[in-house]
């Protein structure tokens, strides 16, 4: 069973070329396999504008492709007006969560903003709530992020199914 209304979600990281496009791609694949693509619309964005218009990082794309996930988003910057559009906004780390909180009222933040790893069944709380940014590291960082995202997305889908 899916949500009772159409739900729009957005995954947000810093530049929108690594973590959030991966979450968008993995979540889209999950939604498609459950035939919920008409009920759940998925997007990603960055809090920064450095990569606007760029495709996902090639290393993240290759990591996802090895697992049957295609990343096809184009980097965009999250704007304050986006809070009206999205029902759920998932920040990939605390720094981006804080940036998003500054862009909206506390009431909107309480209702719409969540930390991505707050849904991770293997998160250990405060010390382990950020999805690490693999951009400046080697391939193992991209693999690690894929593992985090792939185990967390089903939990987010369950949350959406029960809350919307």
| Residues identified as active-site | 13, 19, 133
Q: Rounded to an integer, what distance in angstroms lies between the CA atom of residue 42 and that of residue 11?
A: 8
Distance of CA 111 to the CA centre of its chain: 17
Q: Largest alpha-carbon pair distance within the chain?
A: 42
Three-state SS for 1?
coil
DSSP 28-54: HHHHHHTT-TTTEEEEEEESS-TTTTP
The continuous run of DSSP H or E covering 115 comes out as strand 113-115
Q: Which residues pair with 44 in a beta bridge?
A: 11
Q: Which residues pair with 90 in a beta bridge?
A: 11, 114
Q: Rounded to an integer, what distance in angstroms lies between the CA atom of residue 76 and that of residue 72?
A: 13
């Amino acid at each position: 069973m899916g949500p009772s209304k159409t739900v729009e979600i957005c995954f947000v990281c810093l530049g929108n070329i690594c973590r959030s496009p991966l979450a968008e791609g993995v979540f889209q694949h999950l939604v498609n396999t459950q035939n919920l693509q008409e009920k759940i619309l998925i997007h990603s964005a960055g809090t920064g504008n450095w990569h606007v218009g760029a495709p996902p990082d090639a290393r993240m794309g290759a990591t996802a492709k090895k697992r049957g996930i295609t990343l096809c988003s184009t980097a965009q910057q999250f704007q304050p007006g986006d809070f009206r559009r999205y029902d759920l906004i998932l920040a990939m780390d605390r720094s981006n969560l804080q940036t998003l909180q500054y862009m909206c009222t506390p009431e909107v933040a309480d209702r719409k903003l969540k930390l991505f790893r707050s849904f991770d069944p293997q998160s250990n709380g405060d010390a382990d709530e950020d999805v690490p940014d693999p951009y400046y590291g080697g391939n193992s960082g991209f693999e690690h992020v894929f593992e985090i995202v792939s185990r967390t997305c089903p939990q987010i889908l369950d949350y959406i199914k029960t809350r919307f």
